[in-house]
Amino acid sequence: MSSEIQSTTTAAGVVTLLEEPRFELMPFESMDEQLDHLPEGAEVAITTSPTLGLEATVDWTERASDRGFEVVPHIAARYVRDTAHLEAVAERLVDAGVTDIFVPGGDREEPAGEFTSASDLLSTLEALEYEFDEVGITGYPEGHAFLDDETLAEAMAEKEPYATYIVTQLCYDPEAIVTWIDEIRDRGVDLPVEVGIPGVMKYQRLLTISKKVGVGDSVRFLKKTSGILGFVRELVGSRGTYVPDELIEELAPYAADPHYDLRGIHVYAFNQVPDLESWRSKTLTQHR
């Protein structure tokens, strides 16, 4: 950890982290209902679904933008066919008023076309006429099940010149998050970090979502983090409902520290927004 942590009080840090989070939603039929429960003008990230493809992400981006939300679509590289497809997607996003995009590699085993990694797509996007003020890339505080740490570090170095911030994969271990940020700072990576955390998650609801999408978009990306077994134990041990109280409170002292430069929190809502917003509202009230 930083030797000169500019700590803030737990209460103030919790409020800072929870006042204006980014909510990640999956582009399923329930999206309209989920948006109904979000604060007006909230920042909403929309994933690329392995079962629905990139088109669903762009469609929902346009619809949510029309409703006044600040939308951050996931443009997963391995779902983009070629430069012409990327250009068409970028044009639609710009027309929808999007100024911030998130570019992961994507979960497809076989890419849809010429882009095999996020860095491939980012370098091509740089040459197009369509520009975005903010571009996010992925970070892995608990590692990746299929990639070693050296490979992940090399990939981040390739993507960093095109990015303005990092979003971490879901992590429920605050010590792992803080240690990982220390490590990337030691490597000279100074991009702001948006910390990906689980929202309020009902185990039975998660299973229901997973059944609806076959193998399960809702759990697919969890397999990429080495902490998934620990998280499952935490979820089961919670008697069916997980809430991130402890995680938020332990991250709170770092909320205003420039060394860690936390851009905010990115809540993996798993399309369980009503429960999430009920918890967030109650938690903010308790800490103000």
Q: Domain ranges in the chain?
A: 10-287
**pTM of the model as a whole:** 0.89
- Partner residues linked to 194 by β-bridges: 167, 264
pLDDT confidence of residue 3: 41
Q: Which residue has the tokens 């604060």?
A: 39
Distance CA 140, CA 260 (A): 15
Distance CA 207, CA 219 (A): 9
pLDDT confidence of residue 228: 54
Contact 25, 266 (CB under 8 A): no
pLDDT confidence of residue 220: 52
Q: Which residue has the tokens 């000169």?
A: 4
Question: Does the CA dihedral 113-115-121-126 come out positive or negative?
Answer: negative
Contact 87, 130 (CB under 8 A): yes
pLDDT confidence of residue 29: 87
Distance CA 27, CA 269 (A): 12
Nearest to 142 by CA among 222, 226, 198: 226
Distance CA 24, CA 2 (A): 29
CATH number of 10-287: 3.20.20.220
Contact 195, 171 (CB under 8 A): yes
pLDDT confidence of residue 235: 63
Distance CA 108, CA 111 (A): 6
pLDDT confidence of residue 215: 36
pLDDT confidence of residue 109: 82
Residue 265's alpha-carbon distances to 68, 98, 127, 168, 244, in angstroms, are 21, 20, 30, 9, 12
Distance CA 206, CA 204 (A): 5
Strand order in the sheet with 43-46: 70-73, 43-46, 22-25, 262-268, 193-198, 165-168, 134-139, 100-102
Q: Which residue type is seen at 60?
A: W
User: In the chain, which stretches have pLDDT less than 50?
Assistant: 1-5, 212-218, 221-222, 225
